[in-house]
């Protein structure tokens, strides 16, 4: 089970709620994935044009899945803190996915402001899950600020590129062995989710890869299976890769054997 801030969850998959073709498709996708949490931006929840108003909020409640509000679109510490505090009132939860964007093109997190905002929110009683890069030093600063889990990206949001900097992510996993790390952003295929889980990451957060798929519910199910398979493979202690072939069939007792005359 996934454990975050001393709370356990039955799934290691988190699912976003943006950009689905319809509320019904969103509902089907959540049911198919059975995620640990579903993320929603406060700004979307307040926009009747995008979310169908009260009906959207009722849909989220009907799923029975815990809601993880996020501060999507925020570009300053004050904006992120204020949005988080408003989200706590609206969604009645002290959980927050902290997004603080520093570049409009890549939607890359501003790690400097992110640390400052995280400290303010943690001091205010929030359980902060910061969306960050794979930079080890920035991640350490977030842990120093009081974060108990991190959400490094695999690639820029919505690109579906999969893991761009695999070496850096593997180093991050190795150097922070006791910190829950959830891959957030950039995955496009279930195989990519399985890969990061095999590397030892604790979970995966998805949105675009599911919501923009031709069949979102089927893709949600595929990702849920991939995350579970990747975790099981990690726990099974896989064999180490080697460059030289090694026979898996024993040669002793074979009826025929090569000889000098043959």
> Catalytic residue positions?
97
Q: Is 89 exposed, middle or buried (0-12, 13-18, 19+ CB in 10 A)?
A: exposed
208 is in an annotated binding site: yes
**DSSP SS3 for 156:** coil
In 10 A of CB 58, how many CB atoms? 11
Please answer whether residues 100 and 114 qualify as being in contact, where contact means their C-beta atoms are separated by less than 8 angstroms: yes
Please answer whether residues 219 and 191 qualify as being in contact, where contact means their C-beta atoms are separated by less than 8 angstroms: no
The candidate with the shortest Cα–Cα distance to 69, out of 37, 30, 32, 117, is 37
253 is in an annotated binding site: no
200 is in an annotated binding site: no
The sign of the torsion formed by the CA atoms of 194, 195, 197, 203 equals: negative
Residues making up the annotated binding site for 1-deoxy-D-xylulose 5-phosphate are 158, 185-186, 207-208
Residues making up the annotated binding site are 158, 185-186, 207-208
């Amino acid at each position: 089970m996934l454990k975050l801030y001393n709370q356990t969850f039955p799934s290691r998959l988190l699912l976003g709620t943006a950009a689905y073709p319809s509320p019904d498709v969103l509902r089907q996708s959540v049911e198919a994935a059975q995620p640990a949490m579903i993320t929603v931006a406060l700004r979307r929840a307040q926009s009747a044009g995008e979310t169908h108003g009260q009906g959207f909020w009722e849909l989220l409640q009907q799923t029975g899945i815990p809601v993880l509000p996020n501060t999507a679109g925020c570009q300053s510490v004050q904006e992120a803190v204020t949005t988080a505090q408003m989200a706590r009132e609206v969604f009645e939860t002290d959980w927050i996915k902290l997004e603080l964007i520093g570049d409009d093109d890549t939607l890359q997190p501003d790690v400097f402001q992110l640390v400052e905002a995280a400290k303010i929110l943690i001091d205010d009683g929030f359980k902060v899950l910061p969306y960050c890069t794979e930079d080890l030093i920035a991640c350490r600063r977030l842990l120093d600020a009081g974060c108990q889990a991190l959400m490094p990206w695999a690639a820029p949001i919505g690109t579906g590129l999969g893991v761009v900097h695999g070496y850096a992510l593997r180093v991050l996993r190795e150097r922070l062995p006791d910190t829950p790390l959830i891959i957030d952003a950039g995955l496009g295929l279930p195989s990519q989710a399985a890969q990061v889980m095999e590397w030892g990451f604790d979970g995966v957060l998805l949105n675009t890869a599911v919501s923009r798929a031709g069949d979102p519910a089927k893709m949600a199910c595929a990702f849920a299976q991939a995350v579970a398979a990747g975790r099981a493979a990690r726990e099974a202690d896989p064999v180490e890769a080697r460059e030289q072939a090694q026979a898996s069939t024993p040669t002793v007792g074979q009826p025929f054997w090569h000889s000098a005359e043959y």
